[in-house]
């Protein structure tokens, strides 16, 4: 993790989903923390469509705080956001697990001695039940994650390609294997044309990760993966046109191209309104 202040995120589950609210905190910026939360949710088998977008809240100082960088689906069983939607408060009438565990431990501990075993103990009851102190978690190997932005251009493109519409901030070992497999699959003309096109468009090579995510998904909308493989020149043409188009018009551009209209620009009236269609090439 970086040296930035910790950010605490919550993704509330939609009532119709039957899922639990998810929280995560880490010492990173919002974008990185959000990407980590999404990744861990997906890895747990959850679907992001079952949740509202993540929001940052005030940092709670409580015993039930999950370990840094770990997804928690139980935190919201004990705490809820106050009316300001920023401050966490204990849910009225709910007994905290740390309180139950500490109370049970104190029943047979007298003057630092366990009366059941005779063992002399240090005073750890205030942390009893805090999962972050468990030996299993202390020795559990951290997942091997690679930040996408540090990877070569081809791998950055493929990382967003395998994301199935979700922005990937980092990838794990299995995802890296899939990226390498796709890169080496010369029979996959769709992927090979996408990679070659990206390397032949200057704006693409200079693009930030979010733009790479957007353009890769735009390509998949315009040229469906399960459809006819587009010619390399056509993909290059679309990439150049997309980067030359104003951000506000890129959605319209994708819709036009998806309909088969190979427009080079989105036309607007003098007032700035969309005139419909564009200049065909």
Encode pLDDT of 36-46 as tens digits: 899 899 988 89
Residues forming beta bridges with residue 9, ordered by sequence position: 24, 56
- Which helix H or strand E contains 216, and what residues bound it? helix 209-222
CA distances from 243 to 33, 226, 253, 267 (A): 28, 25, 11, 16
Residue 232 pLDDT > 80: yes
pLDDT, tens digit, 9 for 90 and up, residues 127-186: 434 444 444 444 555 567 888 888 899 999 999 999 888 888 788 889 999 999 999 999
pLDDT of residue 145: 80
Signed CA dihedral, 191, 211, 172, 39: sign only:
negative
User: If you average pLDDT over each of 86-90, 132-136, 207-211, 271-275, which comes out highest?
Assistant: 86-90
Residue 247, pLDDT score? 87
The two structure tokens encoding residue 228:
């006819």
Query: Which residue carries 């960088």 as its tokens?
Result: 69
Find the Cα–Cα–Cα–Cα dihedral 14, 20, 21, 26, rounded to 10°.
-140
Which is more confidently placed, 216 or 96? 216
* Helix (H) / strand (E) containing 79: strand 79-81
**In the chain, domain spans:** 7-91, 97-132, 146-244
Residue carrying the six token digits 């689906």 = 73
Mean pLDDT in residue range 118-130: 46
Residue 118's pLDDT is 52
Residue 30 pLDDT: 86
Helix (H, G, I), strand (E, B) or coil at 174: helix
Q: How confident is the model at residue 266 (pLDDT cuts 50, 70, 90)?
A: confident
Q: Mapping DSSP to helix (H, G, I), strand (E, B) and coil, where does residue 274 land? A: strand
What rounded mean pLDDT belongs to the chain?
82
Q: Are 240 and 265 in contact (CB under 8 A)?
A: no
- Specify the pTM: 0.50
| pLDDT > 70: percent of the chain | 77
Q: Is 277 a residue whose pLDDT tops 60?
A: no
Rounded CA gap, 57 and 17, in Å?
23
- pLDDT tens sequence across 68-117: 889 999 999 999 999 999 999 999 888 877 554 445 544 555 555 555 55
């Amino acid at each position: 993790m970086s040296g930035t202040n910790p950010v605490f995120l919550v993704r509330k589950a939609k009532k119709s989903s039957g899922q639990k609210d998810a929280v995560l905190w880490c010492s990173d910026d919002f974008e990185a923390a959000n990407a980590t939360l999404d990744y861990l949710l997906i890895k747990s088998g959850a679907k992001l469509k079952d949740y509202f977008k993540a929001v940052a809240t005030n940092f709670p100082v409580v015993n039930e705080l999950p370990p840094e960088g770990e997804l928690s689906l139980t935190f919201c069983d004990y705490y809820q956001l106050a009316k300001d939607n920023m401050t966490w408060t204990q849910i009225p009438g709910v007994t905290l697990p740390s309180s139950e565990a500490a109370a049970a431990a104190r029943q047979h501990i007298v003057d630092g001695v366990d009366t059941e075993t005779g063992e002399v103990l240090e005073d750890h009851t205030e942390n009893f039940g805090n999962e972050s102190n468990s030996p299993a978690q202390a020795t559990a190997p951290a997942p091997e994650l690679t930040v996408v932005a540090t990877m070569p251009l081809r791998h950055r493109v493929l990382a967003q390609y395998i994301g199935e519409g979700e922005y990937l901030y980092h990838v794990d070992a299995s995802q890296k294997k899939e990226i390498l497999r796709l890169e080496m699959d010369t029979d996959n003309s769709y992927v090979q044309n996408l990679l070659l096109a990206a390397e032949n468009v200057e704006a693409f090579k200079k693009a930030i990760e979010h733009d790479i995510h957007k353009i890769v998904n735009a390509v998949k909308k315009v040229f469906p993966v399960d459809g006819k493989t587009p010619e390399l020149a056509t993909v290059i043409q679309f990439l150049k046109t997309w980067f030359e188009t104003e951000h506000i018009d890129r959605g319209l551009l994708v819709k036009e191209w998806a309909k088969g209209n190979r427009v080079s620009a989105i036309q607007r009236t003098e007032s700035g309104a969309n005139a419909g269609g564009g200049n065909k090439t």
